[in-house]
Amino acid sequence: MEGNLNMIGYGLAAIGPGVGIGLIFAAYIQGVARQPEAQGRLQTIAFIGFALAEALAIIGIALAFAL
Amino acid sequence: MTPIGMTLVRGEEFEPPGPSDFNLPGIGNDDTFTFLGQTMYSGITKPMLQLVLAALLVFLFFRMASGKRSMVPGRLQFVGEGMYGFVRNTLGRDVIGSQDFLRFVPLLFSLFFFILFNNIFATIPFIQFPTFSRIGYVVALALVAWLVYNGAGIQRHGFGGYLKLQTVPAGVPGYMLPLLIPLEFFSNIVVRPFTLALRLFANMFAGHLLLILFALGGEFLVLHGAALVKPVGVLTWVLFLAIAGLELLVQFLQAFIFTILTSLYISSAIAEEH
C-alpha cells in the first residue's frame, strides 16, 4: 500500500482543532440559548475563536503538501 | 505524492497538483534566477499585478462612494458608508476602546479591504489566483501589523514599560517569573506575526489547492475514466462549485480575522496597566 506519511501526520494533527472548534461552538450555542439578545456580540467572539483554532488545522494541511 | 486508487481508470496516471502550481512565470518571459537555492521567476508576475490592481480598486471604489457626500446617501454612498462603519465600529471602536481607536482606523480599514479584494481575486473569472497564496505578500502585511502594535505600545508606555506590560502578567508570584517572562515574550512578540502570516497564507493556499485538485481530478475522471466512472467526474465538478462557495466565505473570514487580530494586538499593547 503506497501513500504518504505527510497525510497521516495531517490526519492526526486535525484531531485537536476539530475538538477545539466543537467546544467553541458548543459554548456559543449555550450562550445564545441562555440569553438570545447576546447573539450579535457572542458571534464576533465565536468567529475569532473559530479562526484561531482552525489556523492550526490549516497550517497542517498546507505543510502536508509543501513539505 | 503518489495517488492511491487512481489506477482504477485506464489511460495515464493522475498528476496531483502541488505547490509548484503556485509558481507563476513572468508575463511574456520565462527568465529565472536562483536565490538561496530556489529557482525564481523574474519579471512582472500575475500576483504582482493583482496586488496593484487591488490597491487601485479599493481606492477607486471608496473615492467614488465618498464623492458626493449628500446628506441623504445614494446607493453607492450608502454601501461605502456601511463598509467603513463596519470597520470603524466593529473592528476599531469595540476592540480598541473609544478613547484612542481613531488613530488606527485608517490602517485597519486599508488592511481589511486590501486583504478582502486580494482574496476575492481567487473567485473572479480570468484572475482566479489568490494573491496571498504566495507567502511573500503576506509577510509584508504581517510585518506592518507587528511594527504598528509594537510601535503603539512603545509610544504609549516607553520601551521598558511596554516590555513589562507584555511579559509580566498581573498577580503572578515572584518565583514563577523566570519561567514566565521568556514564555510570554516569545508568545506575545515573536510568535504573533508568524501566526498572523501563516493563518492567512495557509488558508488561501489550501483553498486554492483544493479547487485545483477538484478541477483537475474531475477532468481526469471525465476524460480517462471507464464509462461508469465518468459521472463521478461530473459530480467532482459540482463539488468544485460548492467548495468555491465555501472559499468565498473563507476569504471574507480571513480578511476579517487578520484585521480584528491586529486591532486586538494594538488594544492589548496600549492597554493601561492593572
What is the extent of the structural domain holding B61? 6-269
| A6 occurs within a structural domain | no
| Count: domains in chain B | 1
Please indicate, yes or no, if residue B242 is contained in any of the structural domains.
yes
**ipTM value > 0.95:** no
Residue numbers of the domain that contains A60: 16-66
Which of A58, A59, A61 should we substitute to test contact with B (largest number of B Cβ atoms within 10 Å)? Answer: A58
A40: nearest CA partner in chain B: B90
Of B4, B202, B260, Cβ closest to residue A58: B202
Query: Cell for B67?
Result: 464623492
Q: Is residue A22 part of a domain?
A: yes
Structural domain contains residue B41: yes
Q: Is residue A41 part of a domain?
A: yes
A9 found inside a domain: no
Which of B133, B203, B247 is most worth mutating to test chain A (most A CB atoms within 10 A of its CB)? B203
Assess if residue A4 is contained within a domain.
Answer: no
* Residue A5 forms part of a structural domain: no
User: Does residue A1 lie within any of the structural domains?
Assistant: no
Between chains, do A55 and B202 touch, taking CB under 8 Å as contact? yes
pLDDT per residue as tens digits for the range B49-96: 999 999 999 999 999 998 888 888 888 999 999 999 999 998 988 888
Contacts of B2 in chain A (CB under 8 A): 2-4
Residue B274's pLDDT is: 55
**DSSP assignment of chain A, as one string?**
----HHHHHHHHHTHHHHHHHHHHHHHHHHHHHH-GGGHHHHHHHHHHHHHHHHHHHHHHHHHHHH-
Q: Average pLDDT for residues B192-213, to the nearest whole number?
A: 91
- B229 inside domain: yes
The reply to whether B70 falls in a domain is yes
Task: Return the CATH number at A29.
Answer: 1.20.20.10
Q: Is the pLDDT of residue B14 over 70?
A: yes
Selecting from B2, B199, B209 the residue whose C-beta is nearest the C-beta of A55 gives B199
Residue A25 counted as domain residue: yes
Residue B181 placed within a domain = yes
| Cβ atoms within 10 Å of B139's Cβ, excluding its own | 16
Q: Is B217 part of a structural domain of the chain?
A: yes
Whether the Cβ atoms of residue B70 and residue B63 lie closer than 8 Å to each other: no
Least confident residue range of A1-5, B164-168, B172-176: A1-5
